[in-house]
Amino acid sequence: MDDSERALEVDILAVSLRSDKDAAGDLLEHLAGKLSQALPEEVQVSRGGWLFSSKKPVEELNIKLGEIGFQFRRDKRGVITAMRQKIVRGVVLKSEEVAVESLIDELAAQLAKVAEKNARTRDALTKFVIG
């Protein structure tokens, strides 16, 4: 795969991560649904809400891809923050807050890299993008 094909693949994946968020009503719900379906072992979703509430909104979404972690968190006011993490042997050594859109682009690029090396991930991401 040449650089232009790879760049196009990353762009398509980034658009897929963002797509339908307005229809779904919530970026975190959209990302959690898509990514936990495509990569269940790499994604951890924490939901909030009252004990007997029918709505359990996503409060935190963690994606671990090798030594890089991506965390999206919603505070009590509904503001979403995004963190990039450096992970070594399961321990977070460094966390850095970044813009949500920027982290989505980084996540798409990292997913494309992982998919190049792993057939299972590539198949899951193909289903993710195509539907």
Q: What is the average pLDDT across 13-20? A: 59
Choice between 98 and 116, residue whose per-residue pLDDT is larger: 98
Q: What is the pTM of this model?
A: 0.75
Give the start-to-end residue ranges of the domains of the chain: 3-130
Token pair listed for 62: 């963690």
CB-based contacts of 127: which residues, under 8 Å, 6+ apart?
37, 38
pLDDT digits over 32-78, tens only? 888 888 888 899 999 987 778 778 889 999 999 989 999 999 988 88
Given a cut of 50, is residue 24 above it in pLDDT?
A: no
- Spatial separation of the C-alpha atoms in residues 21 and 34, rounded to whole Å: 11
